[in-house]
Amino acid sequence: MKTILCSMAACLAVLLCGAARADAPDLVVFHTNDVHGHVLPEERDGETLAPGFARIETVVDGEPAPHLLLDAGDVLHGQPFATAHEGEDVARLLQMLGYDALAAGNHDFDYGAARLLELRALYSLPFVAANVARRDDGRLLLPPWVVKNVGGVRVGIFGLATPMTPTSTHPRNVAALDFGAPARTFAAARKAVAALRAEEKVDLVIALVHLGSEAYCWPSSLELARAVPGIELIVDGHSHSELAERVGGALVVSAGEALANLGRVEARRAPDGGWRLEARLIPAAALASVTPEPTTAAWLEARRDAIAAEMDATVANAPFALDGRREVIRQRSANLGRLLAAAMMRESGATAALVNSGTVRGDIPAGPVSVAKLLEVLPYGNKVVAVEVSGAELLAALRHGLAQPGGGAFPQFYGLEVKATRTADGGLRPLAVRIDGKPLALKRRYTVAIHDFLAAGGDGYAMFKVLPRRTFGTLDEALRRFLASASRGELDAIDAAKVLQCAACDEK
């Protein structure tokens, strides 16, 4: 089954008519994932990019069929609205909308596990995770599942967090937690399914997971569907995919990213006692005409204005557009990646700099740059770190990152020039590396700027963990200072630089 994207008319019919049809569903599951704090309405050039949570609330509350509202992770962190008060404003919204269950995404741990637990307690948030344990005593950090009785249907919803979490949030955020390996993830899922069936006597099992469906996801939601029987629906996040695919006995769905869609799954009992599931995505444009829920809309506007007053100050100027789009920066050298690396070099005095592309969460238009924009693009508060690295270790880092185009580990760098070739599996392999204009010497030591996430082995850069280091200010501060101090000639040179060349690739 492929993703169904409604036409405008069809989506409006779904919203307005709901379950009025003769074949009305027994249950509707609304789902979101990878919202990353995009809870306010967003438009660009007349196009609705995100409808805002107040419109989502109107749609969900107006659904006449029995229904659930689920989120598959990475909702608490991202946009300045989310990060300004360490997720609290988003947590309050999740409570206001009445989410029935929430997966714990890797970026939901970005303020630390203790903060996630604090927000969960403050706002009674139903986070679930069957595979995240405390290292000290082995107890689960969160409830493994919730059971909901909806319109006569008993639904069991269990959660899974990606085992990649310790390398895709700062390791210090989850140092006291054990996310296990893929095999244990599947074992936790089997245990949850068995308990929900035998003990909770549920009619329908939903896996609410933050695993992802792309090749770099370890393990993926598609692998879960193949490995663990007894699941009717898998609601997924992490890879920002738009997905509706039947794998084994399960339907796997995901709604993209940044509230670009609202996912909707209709469940109907089949004559054989099973379930017929139909999935569609309702795009933001189809929700633009929906009236926002007034109480939530008023609260959002008030909080937006209060946070904007803190965030709107101009702190830098971009002489040209800086491209940090996910589809660009995770595939090839991008001018924002090069500029950020150059800023890290200036901050630390390093000969070169390397940063994982997952650090960058958006682009910067030409013109004035506000605090909000810097924090939107660099939301994690990472600090610049200078490490003393051998040429061999630096080459290992480049091999590791370049082998993973499309993933957050893909490197952005400056002070280095790399010639590469495309490998059979779609990655890149460095053929020749120059640093400071000279060939890389494997036994020589170099001062290279990275940041504290990579210095802790994040995104699989284990070669950086044991190196001597010096720590400096945050990335957003370094970028702001660099934009203010660099000459236009320096900035133009960075914009035009060809630091990653591949004869068989379409890369700058």
- CA-angle at 96, arms to 85 and 168, nearest 5°: 45
Higher pLDDT, 426 or 22: 426
Residue 310's pLDDT band (cuts 50, 70, 90): confident
153 inside domain: yes
Q: Does 300 lie in the same domain as 320? A: no
- Whether the predicted pLDDT of 17 surpasses 70: no
- Whether the predicted pLDDT of 20 surpasses 50: no
Q: Does 333 lie in the same domain as 289? A: no
Higher pLDDT, 312 or 21: 312
Residue 469's pLDDT band (cuts 50, 70, 90): confident
Name the burial class of residue 237, with classes exposed (0-12), middle (13-18) and buried (19+) by CB atoms within 10 angstroms of its CB.
buried
pTM score: 0.77
Q: Does 152 lie in the same domain as 127? A: yes
2 inside domain: no
> Mean of the per-residue pLDDT values for the chain?
93
Whichever domain contains 373, its CATH number is 3.90.780.10
DSSP state of 195: H
Residue type present at position 173: N
- What is the Cα 12 distance to its own chain's centre? 28
The residue ranges of DSSP E strands in 408-496, in sequence order, are 411-414, 416-422, 428-435, 438-439, 445-451, 469-474
Reported as type and span, the H/E element at residue 208 is strand 204-210
Residue 119's pLDDT band (cuts 50, 70, 90): very high
Q: Does 460 lie in the same domain as 367? A: yes
Could you list the residue range(s) of the whole structural domain that residue 419 is in?
312-502
The pLDDT, as a whole number, for residue 1 is 41
1 inside domain: no
Q: Does 42 lie in the same domain as 114? A: yes
Q: Does 389 lie in the same domain as 256? A: no
- Residue 79 CB neighbour total at 10 angstroms: 24
Average pLDDT on 268-289 reads 96
The pLDDT, as a whole number, for residue 105 is 97
Q: Does 209 lie in the same domain as 141? A: yes
492 inside domain: yes
Q: Does 197 lie in the same domain as 322? A: no
Count of domains forming the chain: 2
- Whether the predicted pLDDT of 507 surpasses 80: no
DSSP assignment string, 231-285: -SEEEE-SS--EEEEEETTEEEEEE-STTSEEEEEEEEE-TTSSEEEEEEEEEHH
Q: Does 78 lie in the same domain as 166? A: yes
Residue 506's pLDDT band (cuts 50, 70, 90): low
The pLDDT, as a whole number, for residue 508 is 43
442 inside domain: yes
The pLDDT, as a whole number, for residue 39 is 98
**pLDDT tens digits, one per residue of 177-234:** 999 999 999 999 999 999 999 999 999 999 999 999 988 798 999 999 999 999 999 9
Average pLDDT on 397-411 reads 96
507 inside domain: no
508 inside domain: no
Q: Does 240 lie in the same domain as 254? A: yes
Q: Does 293 lie in the same domain as 331? A: no
478 inside domain: yes
Q: Does 379 lie in the same domain as 301? A: no
The pLDDT, as a whole number, for residue 21 is 55
- CA-angle at 143, arms to 124 and 176, nearest 5°: 100
Whichever domain contains 259, its CATH number is 3.60.21.10
Average pLDDT on 70-84 reads 94
